[in-house]
Amino acid sequence: MGVLRYRHVSGDEASNSDWGTPDERSSQHRDAEALDAFSRVVSGVADALMPAVVNLRAARGRRGGSGSGVLFTPDGFLLTNHHVVQGQSHLRVRTSDGRDLPGSVVGADPWTDLAVVQVDASGLPYAPLGDSEKLRVGQLAVAIGSPFGFDSTVTAGVVSALGRTLRSITGHLVDNVIQTDAALNPGNSGGPLVDSRGTVIGINTAIIQSAQGICFAIPINAAKHILPQLMQHGRVVRGYLGLHGRSVPLARPTARLHNLSQSSAVEVVAVEPEGPADQASIEPDDLIVSLGDRDVTSVDDLHRLLTELPVGVPSSVILLRGQQRLQRFVLPEEYPHWDPARR
């Protein structure tokens, strides 16, 4: 058996020998810096946004689960999911500083799975609303909420995909949904999905129970389009076409062929039997480029127009089917509204 010999190693030698070659040490240093930068961004977002995130639960004596919400005004208005408040007119709202406050459902919209609640308080911290149209796949996404009642829980990931169509817990198909791998659990519903600048880009809404890292959020632009109606009328008076779509790029040769200046359109994913779109002979795979003589470049455009155009009045739809440019006339119906007092 050989003799094991020891020798004193200076600090400089230990630094050189224990951590590999200069290139390896440089790579490790860059990795550490990148991790620190990522951590700093997530921590900064969490510090800025957590005070505006609340826990929602049924009022005392009422059955119901719990969820999350995000304050967007200092006088107590907050966004959450329709399915979080469904069947409730009053809720309990727990703020990040531990206050337990009464809240009232102001309005709800099953079409987008969004709702507005007002807390009986003022001078509250609130979150800025961002622009979900500018999202790109791969960018940082931070989710904040109260999964299983654990307040102020933060998870981080990326925007995994855009333009998804999701059937919500209420049974409605929601278009243009954000997919993320930021971990969500029951109770996260209604909480904010936030970008690296600390602005709300979506409202977390659902997970796929049998999958890992596949979670969904309603884009914040959908909320911004309907907030005035929810806050003023308690519901959205929206034209209903009976179709589901997604935003897609428009090929340049196709745009040139039909003399279109826009670079995107809405692809029809599904058409509901006997609905207005079906009766107007709109078909899956059609590309909608205008409604009511106004350009349609995204699902958000379509939703916005359906809240602006009169219900029960025929509207012109220009669509592309293969190489054909077709005009149809669709008669929007009013989408059935939800009554917050209904039990």
State yes or no: is 290 an active-site residue.
Answer: no
**Does 38 share its domain with 57?**
no
Q: Is residue 134 part of a domain?
A: yes
Q: Is residue 56 part of a domain?
A: yes
CATH of the domain at 195: 2.40.10.120
**Does 126 share its domain with 273?**
no
Q: According to the model, what pLDDT value does residue 172 have?
A: 67
Nearest-CA neighbor of 267 among 216, 324, 321? 321
Domain hosting residue 264, numbered range: 239-334
**Does 108 share its domain with 244?**
no
Q: Is residue 225 part of a domain?
A: no
Q: According to the model, what pLDDT value does residue 37 have?
A: 82
Q: Is residue 202 part of a domain?
A: yes
**Does 166 share its domain with 252?**
no
**Does 71 share its domain with 215?**
yes
Q: How many domains does the chain have?
A: 3
State yes or no: is 29 an active-site residue.
Answer: no
Q: Is residue 1 part of a domain?
A: no
- Spatial CB neighbours of 44, under 8 Å, sequence gap ≥ 6: 198
Of 220, 253, 288, the domain-final residue? 220
Q: Is residue 4 part of a domain?
A: no
HSE-CB for 283 with a 13 A CA cutoff: 7
Out of 96, 189, 290, 298, pick the active-site residue: 189
**Does 56 share its domain with 161?**
yes
**Does 78 share its domain with 188?**
yes
Q: Is residue 340 part of a domain?
A: no
**Does 186 share its domain with 288?**
no
State yes or no: is 90 an active-site residue.
Answer: no
Q: According to the model, what pLDDT value does residue 5 have?
A: 44
Nearest-CA neighbor of 307 among 244, 247, 222? 222
Out of 66, 68, 82, 83, pick the active-site residue: 83
pTM for the structure as a whole: 0.69
Residue 192 three-state SS: strand
Q: Is residue 160 part of a domain?
A: yes
**Does 126 share its domain with 54?**
yes
Helix ranges (DSSP H) in the chain: 11-18, 22-49, 82-85, 220-233, 252-257, 276-279, 299-308
Orientation angle between helical segments 299-308 and 220-233, nearest 10 degrees: 20
**Does 42 share its domain with 80?**
no
**Does 39 share its domain with 134?**
no
Q: According to the model, what pLDDT value does residue 137 have?
A: 96
**Does 323 share its domain with 298?**
yes
Q: According to the model, what pLDDT value does residue 87 have?
A: 84
Q: According to the model, what pLDDT value does residue 80 have?
A: 97
Out of 113, 175, 195, 300, pick the active-site residue: 113
Mean pLDDT by 10 residues, the chain (343 residues): 44 48 66 76 94 90 80 96 91 93 94 92 95 95 91 93 81 82 90 96 85 89 91 86 93 94 95 95 97 92 85 94 95 67 37
CATH of the domain at 323: 2.30.42.10
331 class by beta-carbon count within 10 Å (0-12 exposed, 13-18 middle, 19+ buried): middle
Q: Tell how strand 153-167 and strand 140-145 pair up.
A: antiparallel
Q: According to the model, what pLDDT value does residue 268 have?
A: 97
